[in-house]
Structure 1
Amino acid sequence: MLLYGRNPVLEALREGRVQEVTLARGVEEAFVREVKATGAFVRWTSRIELDQLVGTTGHQGVVAEVDDLAWASVDDILDRADARQEPLLIVLLDGITDPRNFGAIIRSAEVLGAHGVVVEERRSAPLSPVVAKTAAGATTYLPVAQTKNLPRLIDQLKADNVWVYGAAGEAAQDVTRTDFTGKVALVIGAEGEGMRRLVREKCDTLIRIPTRGQVQSLNASVAAGILLYEATRGRA
């Protein structure tokens, strides 16, 4: 897989997943030194060639070939919470098919202390270079898992005393007045459609982000970031 962008490539280099990095001529010398310090071989080319190689101009002059990103398991996420001796905080995505939203949610989840993200196999963007680029290296540190059946997974989590909160703009309960102190799963639905009916019905409580403007809905990744912030703030 071709990985591009400075932060994702640097994280992959630190993990030892890259042997060769292709840089565009004119990249700052300080960044070049940082790449070379990892022991990777550096190849030089033009920005136009990199544009053609990855099909975008958003590569920041840095491209590396790495192994495909690997899916974790739900058990990996549960084990991560246990190892940290923390109550579980897991993010469940229902129908997030835009890779940039997916990557941004992974980034927010890692930064704000969630233990992992789970998607349903047939209703998600794949773990692609665009996801990795938008996640800015967070895919290196945060387990991202697939499940065949999200409603069934929610039932399993509830059986383990995980309280499941679903994000819904019309919900009665305000996120700022929500108790996040125990084991928590946050469910984020697709933009426009929201959660599927069955997923929605499986949630213990629906919560909303209070808004004051004329536009009543938030981008899915922005909403996820706000919910995660409130969850971690409440747990602190």
Structure 2
Amino acid sequence: DPLRNSFAMLPIVPIVGMWLWASESEYDVLMFIAGVFYLLLASMRQSTPLALLAGACGNAALLAFYGRFDGLSLFDHPQLWLIPPAVSTLVALQWHRDSIDAGAATMGRYACVAVIYFSSTSEILIGGLGQRLWPPMVLALLSVFGVLGGMWLRIRSFLYFGIGFLLLAIMAMVAHAQQAIDHTWPWWAFGISLGVLVLTFFGFFEKKREDVERLIRELRSWKN
């Protein structure tokens, strides 16, 4: 009814007012309160649009909080700015997968996962490859979560992206180790270990050919 709709629009008034007058004071707090308000309202009304609005307000609050600090700009730490909206969109796509066209949902998943991984990878390149250890560790952690999420949700794109970027993160950590000790033996160790893993895989494939082929067929039946 009109009264309930007017009540739902209450947080918009101060938000628009602060935006029009270019006021940044406590904007993140205001957006956070609005997000909590719409989240509670969405749970009471079982409303999808209000839940999406709550997510948008939450992301806006986080980005406004980042904007308070000079060292947390988008160009210095892109993953802090891009990963939360991408994860929120990914969760929304998965939650409403039955009501979304399959092709659009697949493209949306690929786009969100690409934003997550590429933003984390760009942070490695911004600081210089091999210069800092924590960016590749973050990428490796995200990749492991991606692989586990792909296995749990049976979505191949999550699995493929996760494995690929996990390998990239390991290579970045090897580069960091090589620069830290100023020697090339970490690359030799990485290459030898990779070769051993490949040989082990082919040996396992020959020994358990039927099981591996069954696993591949099952993997092909997963969502794209």
TM-score for both structures, normalised by structure 2: 0.25
Higher relative contact order (CA 8 A, sep 6+): 1
Structure having the higher Rg: 2
Which structure carries more helix by proportion? 2
